[in-house]
Amino acid sequence: MEGELKEILSQMQQEMAAMRFEMTGMRSDMTGVRSEMTGMRQDMTGMQSEMTGMQSDIAGMQSDIAGMQSEMTGMRQDMIVMRGDMTTGFADVSQEFANVRQEMAKGLADVRQEMSTGFAALREEIATVDRQLGILIEDGRHNTQILAEEVLELKRQVSRAATREEMQHGFAEILALIRYSYADVDQRVRALEQGSN
């Protein structure tokens, strides 16, 4: 009986030792868990600090965005004003071009009318000069025919004349006739030239 008690005590001691060992391990684990919890608390504190910094950054960004929106609103208003100015300016330029086109069209019409009138007057003058030249040419032909007949007559008279004096007299008449005919034709041509100028 005493042996059994000793054996039971021995087993109980062994179990107690095992339990102590396990308790030591559990204590060690608890220390590790506490250490991890402390680290987690520190991490959480750091994260809270970072979150606070991020919130500050976000607030700054929101302020920047608000400023940019204000600037964009100002730029939009400026663009609206510029659009209005450009529309007015383009309308003015279009009106100016329309006025210039009308003035050019009127000027060209006036120039065409003047040129048409001038060409008609020039054609009429050319026709008049042409008629007068035709008359002069016909007159010159007639005078040449008369002169040729008179020269033939003078040749006959020269051949009949017996003396040199008669020949000289005939030549003088021929020269007088030639000079008269030439002077008349020359005077008419000069009058025509002055009239055409």
Residue 162 is predicted with a pLDDT of 55
Residue 167 is predicted with a pLDDT of 64
Crossing angle between the packed helical segments 2-160 and 164-196, to the nearest 10 degrees: 150
Distance separating alpha carbons of residues 28 and 34, to the nearest angstrom: 10
Residue 197 is predicted with a pLDDT of 60
Phi first, then psi, for residue 162 (nearest 5°) are -100, -20
Distance separating alpha carbons of residues 180 and 3, to the nearest angstrom: 195
Q: pLDDT per position in the chain (197 positions), as tens?
A: 566 667 777 777 787 777 777 777 777 777 777 777 787 788 778 778 777 877 887 788 888 888 888 888 888 888 888 888 788 877 887 888 788 888 888 878 887 888 888 778 878 888 887 788 778 778 778 877 877 787 777 777 666 655 666 667 767 777 777 777 767 766 777 777 776 66
Residue 153 is predicted with a pLDDT of 77
Sign of the torsion angle spanned by Cα atoms 100, 103, 109, 113: negative
Is the whole-model pTM more than 0.85?
no
Residue 17 is predicted with a pLDDT of 76
Break the chain down into helix, strand, coil percent, rounded to 5: 95, 0, 5
Residue 161 is predicted with a pLDDT of 57
Residue 79 burial by Cβ neighbours in a 10 Å radius (0-12, 13-18, 19+): exposed
Residue 5 is predicted with a pLDDT of 67
Residue 145 is predicted with a pLDDT of 82
Output the CA angle 155-158-159, nearest 5 degrees: 85
